[in-house]
Amino acid sequence: MSTDAEMAREGSERRGPQPMNPPKYDKIEDMAMMTHLNEASVLYNLKERYAAWMIYTYSGLFCATVNPYKWLPVGKKRMEAPPHIFSVSDNAYQFMATDRENQSVLITDEQMKSFPDSFLTWILGVTEDQIIAANPLLEAYGNAKTVRNDNSSRFVKLALLTTNPYDFPMCSMGKITVASIDDKVELEATDNAIDILGFTNEEKMSIQMTGAVLHHGNMKFKQKQREEQAEPDGTEDADKVAYLLGLNSADMLKALCYPRGKEAAE
């Protein structure tokens, strides 16, 4: 069975039937995987996915979106989720972070009617309240009712997103405690799990060494007044490192601040 992609018009050339894909490609997530990639197959696949409220469909590197005109509260892990517009922004962010180059995201639509909803869905979780609040203001000035959309954008919105390393630290200014978590209870549960899993003493020591390395990264040093010499800026973290390594804290700090070397005899 095949489908005519275009009806014949007077004075125009009739296009022949286009090949139909096997049933296994129905509602396929990535249309680039189709055996026959043509206009009829693409439209049919988008129509079937839209009927099942699957509004996002990949086509190779591109993500096609069909506006559902309603909110679809869905969310899963990246590897478990079907095609979604977030993957486009996530890829752009990853390339920006790894290649250290500016990235662009181009959102195109017949009448720009789904642009505001797609754009807001993309940035809702990572932007400031001021940016979100700016959308009603922009729409009040630039949107208008059309035959096909009650709130159609009559202009193109350009938003520049930048990241500040000081806004997203792994441990923000040392705030590593969680009010709902009892560290003592969690540590006991972790230690009990290690015993149940049958860790050897050597393996336990490797975990202890990992903790020592993490605490070592928290140690701070400062320059002695009027001397070209470093000294510890507090010993709290050094004491933890020394305890985990089975060392004397004072001896360890002395070795770090006053390293000794031996020169080979000429």
Q: Which CATH number does the domain housing residue 251 bear? A: 1.20.120.720
Question: Which residues span the domain enclosing 30?
Answer: 23-153
pLDDT of residue 114: 54
Domain count, the chain: 2
Judge whether 86 lies within some domain.
yes
Give the pLDDT confidence score for residue 8 in this predicted structure. Answer: 45
Q: Are 57 and 31 in contact (CB under 8 A)?
A: yes
| Same domain flag for 220 and 148 | no
For residue 24, the tally of other CB atoms under 10 A from its CB is 7
For residue 188, being part of any structural domain is answered with yes
Is 10 contained in some domain?
no
Does residue 66 sit in the same domain as residue 137? Answer: yes
Q: What is the pLDDT of residue 190?
A: 80
Q: Are residues 89 and 132 in the same domain?
A: yes
CB-based contact 114:69 (threshold 8 Å): no
Residue 16, domain member (yes or no): no
Does residue 47 lie within any of the structural domains? yes
- Predicted local distance difference test score (pLDDT) of residue 211: 84
If the chain, 266 residues long, is cut into consecutive pieces of 10 residues, what is the mean pLDDT of each piece?
45 68 88 88 92 89 85 68 76 84 73 56 55 63 68 68 58 63 82 82 82 87 84 89 90 86 64
Q: State whether 133 and 191 are in the same domain.
A: no
Q: Does some domain include residue 54?
A: yes
Do 105 and 137 belong to one domain? Answer: yes
Same domain membership, residue 131 and residue 195? no
pLDDT (0 to 100) of residue 7: 45
* 65 bridge partner residues: 56
- Nearest 10 degrees: Cα torsion 176, 180, 73, 126: -20
pLDDT at position 89 is 79
pLDDT at 109: 62
